[in-house]
Homo-oligomer: A and B are copies of this chain.
């Protein structure tokens, strides 16, 4: 690698500065509403970042262009060009085929698509370096494991509490992906024959704790004549959806409907996480995602309380944390996927 740099006319020491191509990586988090890109060094330090909205029209081609644009802007803030990157990682929702570098079923991405699209090779052609892909929540959990709230543990469950409820596992230092689709804690069954989930099934955790499911319930309650300040806050914040910030504000104001719905979500999260602990006995649980990060430790403590009656090993409970890398965990995790070995 050092040799390659020398050939480019930029000889650098192996432990060189941020312009050494072999020592800088790009990471992109492709989200439903925004694309977040970072440039990191070998220690995972963020050297540059940028955020663009996810294109709502134009399909995969437009999304690839915007991924490249966001990465380019992040590179610029780091004082380099994308061509200097040793590799790029992309974290995405939907069905990621890491081996083929394709993305399919991106229902949560605006202007999404169903058939597998060769995102890695298309973006790789633009960037001029290797692009690898991973599941958005899994890479975020890996970032928290290596650099964030999970860094002091060998085995971590990550619970990404937002629009849906995603999960990621690191077991004895290694991300656990199963046959490629592990981590779907949001679709563990918390109540047989329970509420209808966005996935079409019944009784999933996400049908109780996901922000989308809670919004649906709130809208139904309003139709039934129940009072709430949730939608007033939404309009005040110029939102069209009940964002995490809207929920947080309504809880602060002790809105009874918001309190009841979040309490139910918290309880179901507690029951499900306790089940996972009884099965896997990991050392720590890290909560991220829009709601997890926004509601923070006071609500993680409530989840811990809801876990207590169900933990099989009495007198020992897992360490409970809020994600520390915030909005950047997905992008940093994607960059880690591309290169830095820590």
Binds B, one of A28-36, A181-189, A327-335: A181-189
* Residue numbers in B under 8 Å from A182 (CB-CB): 279-281
Asked whether A282 lies within 8 Å of B201 as measured between CB atoms, the reply is no
* Residue numbers in B under 8 Å from A309 (CB-CB): 201-202
* Residue numbers in B under 8 Å from A189 (CB-CB): 190, 271-272, 274-275, 310
Q: How far is the CB of A44 from chain B (nearest CB, A)?
A: 25
A199 to B188, CA, bound (A): 22
* Residue numbers in B under 8 Å from A272 (CB-CB): 189
* Residue numbers in B under 8 Å from A279 (CB-CB): 167, 169, 182-185, 188, 276, 279
Contact A180-B281, Cβ < 8 Å, known A188-B275, A274-B189, A312-B187? yes
Binds B, one of A171-179, A231-239, A255-263: A171-179
Asked whether A184 lies within 8 Å of B276 as measured between CB atoms, the reply is no
The one of B178, B199, B267, B282 that contacts A155, using a Cβ cutoff of 8 Å = B178
The one of B199, B268, B283 that contacts A179, using a Cβ cutoff of 8 Å = B283
A102 to B337, CA, bound (A): 42
Q: Is A17 an interface residue (CB 8 A)?
A: no
The one of B167, B176, B191, B204 that contacts A171, using a Cβ cutoff of 8 Å = B176
* Residue numbers in B under 8 Å from A225 (CB-CB): none
The one of B181, B191, B316 that contacts A312, using a Cβ cutoff of 8 Å = B181
Q: How far is the CB of A70 from chain B (nearest CB, A)?
A: 30
Contact A278-B191, Cβ < 8 Å, known A178-B155, A201-B310? no
Number of A positions contacting B (CB below 8 A): 43
The one of B184, B267, B278 that contacts A192, using a Cβ cutoff of 8 Å = B267
Asked whether B313 lies within 8 Å of A181 as measured between CB atoms, the reply is yes
* Residue numbers in B under 8 Å from A183 (CB-CB): 279, 281
- Contact code string A137-158 (vs B, CB < 8 Å = 1, else 0): 0000000000000000001000
A278 to B169, CA, bound (A): 12
* Residue numbers in B under 8 Å from A187 (CB-CB): 278, 310, 312
Closest B residue by C-beta to A318: B179
A319 to B279, CA, bound (A): 20
Q: Which of A192, A310, A316 has the most CB of B within 10 A?
A: A192
Q: Which of A189, A202, A279, A309 has the most CB of B within 10 A?
A: A279
A309 to B191, CA, bound (A): 13
A332 to B180, CA, bound (A): 32
A202 to B311, CA, bound (A): 11
Asked whether A184 lies within 8 Å of B267 as measured between CB atoms, the reply is no
Could you name 18 residue pairs across A and B whose Cβ atoms are closer than 8 Å? A171-B171, A177-B281, A180-B281, A181-B281, A182-B279, A182-B280, A183-B281, A184-B278, A185-B279, A188-B278, A188-B279, A189-B271, A189-B272, A189-B274, A189-B275, A201-B310, A203-B310, A204-B310
Q: A182-B280, A201-B310 are in contact. List 8 more A-B contacts (CB 8 A).
A: A178-B282, A179-B282, A182-B279, A188-B279, A189-B271, A192-B271, A201-B309, A202-B309
- What are the 9 tightest A-B residue pairs by CB atom distance, in nearest-first order? A178-B281, A188-B275, A182-B281, A184-B278, A187-B312, A184-B312, A187-B278, A181-B281, A179-B281
